[in-house]
Structures are given as structure tokens and as C-alpha cells.
Amino acid sequence: MRHGEPKMDHRSHLYRHRREPAEFMNLKKLFPQFAQVVFFLCLWAVPSHAQFPRSTVNPESADRGAKTYASNCAKCHGEDARGTATGPDLLRSVAVLHDRRQMLNGKELAPLLEKGPNHNFKFDDKQLADVSQFLTQSINSILRSGYNAEPTNLLNGDAKAGEAYFNGAGGCGKCHSATGDLAHVGSRYQPAALQQKFLFPNYGLFLKKKVQVTVVAPSGKTYTGDLVRIDDFTVTLHEKSGETRSFNRTAKTKVTEDNPYTGHIELLNKYTDADIHNLTTYLATLK
């Protein structure tokens, strides 16, 4: 033993070795959590287009596919591939959606086209790829927000018609003003956010107003507060005092809601697509 080195305690050495298995077991317990963290970090690091490849379309191939489809398939499945009385909707077909999602270019559609009921089409690989591209293009065109990362064609309405709806049938002018609370609203929000704000004003990242609820219990006592939850059987509210109360909705329990967005909610059952586009286009002009 060198001068100045601490003297090794044989018992301490044994004790240290006895502890190692317990520490190792703790690491084993932590490993699944660590592995999860690593997995999600790796997933986050992979570009989204690598995780979920885009179903891209070659326009020339899709055009050729449209001609092949028109001469062979449209009679039963419709010119827009949405089906007829004699043929199903291809844009909702699991096989077609799988072909589009995995970009298979019709490889798995060949057996269906050749041996399916009332089918006897022996397309070559190029024809299959073209038909696949046509169907992919057709599906992309009906997606809720189009196939782009951002919604498109939101401002293709009639601004004048939107203004008339705002001040007339829509009743928007009863609570809002184009020169008051909505002044410059077209500059504050992108078209997509603007549309969502008047369709669903109490959702998403927008400033939310709480729904107030008043409950008159069978005893006659009244309780008022912010609505927490309501269904056919119970109602829960949060009082200003900080207390949360729940009530059974019996025949003798009276429940009254004061929802600041009632007007918006009622309009959801009345809007036409034209109303929504016209109103969005009008609001976007309020710069």
C-alpha cells in the first residue's frame, strides 16, 4: 500500500459489491421509461414526410388514367368515381385508399380488376399506375383541407353576399360590428383561422368564454357557476367560492345555461357552404 492511500476496509469492499445488484435493478426499472424517451426523440427527429410519405401525383399519368377509367370503369363507378347504383364508391374503397397511402401504383388493384365480380380487366403495369394516379388525384381533391398543408379556396366566396348575410339572415350584426369589435379582423387572422373563429369560437387556441349555468335544486335553493360538465343525467358547476357541485338532473331539478356562443351554435345547423365561404370572404376584407 502506497503512502497516503486510504486503507481498504475489506467489509466495505464486500458491502459495495452487495449493493451493485440493487442499483442494477433500479436501472432496469428505469430502462423502459428511458427507451420511450429515446423513441419519441428519434421519431421527432425524423421528418414528417419520411414518417408519412406524401401520396404525390404525376399529372400526366393521372390524365392518362382518367381516360382509361372513363372508358372502362365510369359506367358502373361514376364519372367522379363516387359510385352509382351498380358500382360502389371507389374513393372510399379500402383497397384504393391503401393503394394511395402506400403509393403502390396499382400493384394490389390488379387482382381485383382482373378477377373481382363483374371485372375482367387485364391492364399492364403502366395502365395500372395511371389509373392509380387518377384515383389518388380524385381522393386528394376531396380532402377536407385539400391536399396542401394549408387549406385552399377559402376566399372564393362573394364578399357582398357575405356582408348581406352578416347584416341580415345570419344575424351577426346583432352582436358584432364591422367597425367595432371586428374592425381590422381580416388583418389579425389568416383565412383558415378566421373561418374557424366564427364557426367554432369557443374551441382551439382562441380566447374562450365560460358557459354559466344555474341550477335550481328540488329544495328551491339556487346554485350558479361556471359549467364544468353537463349530460342527460348530471350537471356539474364550479362556484365563485371555489366549490364544485354536482346535481342529478331529476324532473324537479331546473337547469338553465347562459352560453355566450348560442348564436354561433344555432347557425351551424343553418349555414350552407355558400354562406360560410361568402362570410369568410367578407370578413377577410375588413382590413
Read off the CATH number of the domain in which 65 is found.
1.10.760.10
Tell whether 133 is covered by a domain.
yes
Amino acid occupying residue 157: G
- Do residues 238 and 253 both lie within one domain? yes
C-alpha cell recorded at residue 206:
382562441
- Do residues 277 and 199 both lie within one domain? yes
- Do residues 71 and 130 both lie within one domain? yes
User: How far is 182 from 192, CA to CA, in rounded Å?
Assistant: 16
- What are the C-alpha distances in Å from 207 to residues 183, 191, 204, 210, 265? 17, 18, 9, 10, 17
Cell 361556471 belongs to 226
**Beta strand 234-238 with 244-248: parallel, antiparallel or unpaired?**
antiparallel
**Number of Cβ within a 10 Å radius of residue 287:** 9
- Do residues 232 and 125 both lie within one domain? no
- Do residues 70 and 104 both lie within one domain? yes
User: How far is 135 from 129, CA to CA, in rounded Å?
Assistant: 10
Q: Are 285 and 166 contacting, i.e. CB atoms less than 8 angstroms apart?
A: no
Tell whether 69 is covered by a domain.
yes
pLDDT score at 209:
78
Tell whether 108 is covered by a domain.
yes
> Domain total for the chain?
3
pLDDT score at 249:
94
- Which segments in the chain show pLDDT lower than 50? 1, 4-20, 24, 46-52, 145-147, 206
User: How far is 280 from 104, CA to CA, in rounded Å?
Assistant: 39
- Do residues 276 and 186 both lie within one domain? yes
pLDDT score at 144:
55
User: How far is 205 from 197, CA to CA, in rounded Å?
Assistant: 10
Beta-carbon-side half-sphere exposure of residue 87 (alpha carbons within 13 Å)? 18
User: How far is 2 from 22, CA to CA, in rounded Å?
Assistant: 32
Tell whether 165 is covered by a domain.
yes
pLDDT tens digits, one per residue of 211-230 = 899 999 999 999 999 999 99
Rg for the chain, CA atoms, rounded: 32
- Do residues 69 and 101 both lie within one domain? yes
- Do residues 101 and 163 both lie within one domain? no
- Do residues 107 and 166 both lie within one domain? no
pLDDT score at 143:
73
Residue range(s) defining the domain that contains residue 249: 212-259
- What are the C-alpha distances in Å from 231 to residues 161, 217, 222, 235, 247? 38, 16, 19, 6, 11
Q: Are 109 and 131 contacting, i.e. CB atoms less than 8 angstroms apart?
A: yes
- Do residues 67 and 113 both lie within one domain? yes
pLDDT score at 279:
96
pTM: 0.46
Tell whether 103 is covered by a domain.
yes
Tell whether 273 is covered by a domain.
yes
User: How far is 116 from 225, CA to CA, in rounded Å?
Assistant: 61
User: Residue 24: exposed, middle, or buried by beta-carbon count in 10 A (0-12, 13-18, 19+)?
Assistant: exposed
Last-in-domain residue among 109, 142, 175: 142
Tell whether 242 is covered by a domain.
yes
- Do residues 172 and 109 both lie within one domain? no
Tell whether 31 is covered by a domain.
no
- Do residues 250 and 276 both lie within one domain? no
